[in-house]
Structure formats: C-alpha cells, structure tokens
Amino acid sequence: MPVFFSLMFEESIAMKGSLKADILTSMRPYSISSVPLMDAAKYRDELMILAPHSLLKCSSDATTLGIRVQVRSVYIESRSQPLKGKFFFAYRIRITNNSQRAVQLLRRHWIVTDANGRTENVWGVGVVGEQPVIFPKTGFEYSSACPLNTPNGRMEGDFEMKHIDKVGSSTFNIAIAPFSLSILGDDNDAPL
C-alpha cells in the first residue's frame, strides 16, 4: 500500500506542477508583462515626473518619532479668481503627540510646487502666530491657506520641534507628507 500512495503522491505533484504551468500560461495576457499594462506603467511613471501633484490625494498622514501630522486641503472657490490665474486653497493640520515626551513646535518649512513645476520654500516661526506645546497623548489643530497661480499643485514640508523636558534639548524635524492642492479635490472630501 505505501508504494501505491507514494506513486499517487508523486503523480499528484506532477499534475499540480503541470496545472500551475497551464494556469500561468493562460493568465499571461493579463500579466504586467502584457503590452497594455507595460504602457500604463510607463505612462504612470511619466505622469509622476511631469505632474507629481496629479497622483497625490488632497490629504496626507505621516508619523515621525511618535508625532503624527495629518493634513487635508480644499479649494476655496469664493476666494479664487481663475480668470486672473489666482487659486486659493485652505488646509487643516492636526498634530498628535503619540510619544512619551512633551514637544514644542518652533518653526515650519513648506515646499510649495505649482502645476508648472515652480517651487517656493516658505519658512516661518511657529504656526498661525503660536509655538504650541503639545503634551503626550494630546494634539494641536490649526487651519491656514495657500494661494497658487495654477489650478493644481502640491505641498510638503516639516515642523522643527524640541522636547521641553530638558533645557538645551536638540531640535528635530517632523515630516509633513506631500499632499495635493487641486480645484477638483479627490474622492475623500471628508474633514480631518
């Protein structure tokens, strides 16, 4: 009996290998190696180079050293003048301290890029006139705005912070992940 089962097992393995090869061959037209999908991947990569903001959502979420930064942007039609090339975007930031130490936000740095690829670096002290202290398991929220000369763009940057529990603590940067500024918004227009 054991020889019989051994032969059946080997035959089963051989059939499985053959069946797998048949399935893979039949799926080849749908694989990434097929021409339409290769073209789609190439066009996606080209789009990322030509218009990186177009593949971003109007929100982002990043955590650095236990500090979470969530952003949501919206187009403000009432403050915009499209015929004059003036587009106004508001954004809401939520900073949550999930670390064990209190931090203070000292400075902000934004990299704003319009649809033509023009980039502007913006540095400033604090946010909305404050240098907030954010204790563990608490957060800070604020809203601000960004004018653009194009209907789309992107923002990203960082916050410079320091721990406040020791005098002379070194500063560190917390990432603000890239997000889109778009007159079209995106599928997730829910608030933060």
pLDDT for the residue numbered 34: 53
Burial of 72 (0-12, 13-18, 19+ CB in 10 A): buried
CB 32 within 8 A of CB 41: yes
Same structural domain for residues 8 and 77?
A: no
Number of domains in the chain: 2
pLDDT for the residue numbered 6: 45
pLDDT digits (tens, 9 = 90+) for 84-137: 999 999 999 999 999 999 999 999 999 999 999 999 999 999 999 999 999 999
Q: Report whether pLDDT(61) > 60.
A: yes
CB 156 within 8 A of CB 174: no
Tell me, yes or no, whether 64 lies in a domain.
yes
Question: Which of 64-68, 175-179, 185-189 is the least confident region?
Answer: 185-189
pLDDT for the residue numbered 66: 98
Structural domain including 7 reads: 2-48
Tell me, yes or no, whether 187 lies in a domain.
no
pLDDT for the residue numbered 56: 79
What type of residue sits at position 116?
Answer: N
Same structural domain for residues 86 and 170?
A: yes
Query: First-to-last CA distance in the chain?
Result: 67
Same structural domain for residues 70 and 132?
A: yes
Q: Report whether pLDDT(4) > 70.
A: no
Question: Which of 12-21, 34-43, 90-99 is the least confident region?
Answer: 12-21
Residue of higher predicted confidence among 33 and 80: 80
What is the pTM (predicted TM-score) of this model? Answer: 0.70
pLDDT digits (tens, 9 = 90+) for 156-179: 999 999 999 988 889 999 999 999
Same structural domain for residues 36 and 115?
A: no
pLDDT bin (cut points 50, 70, 90) of residue 9 is very low
CA atoms within 13 A on the CB side of 92: 10
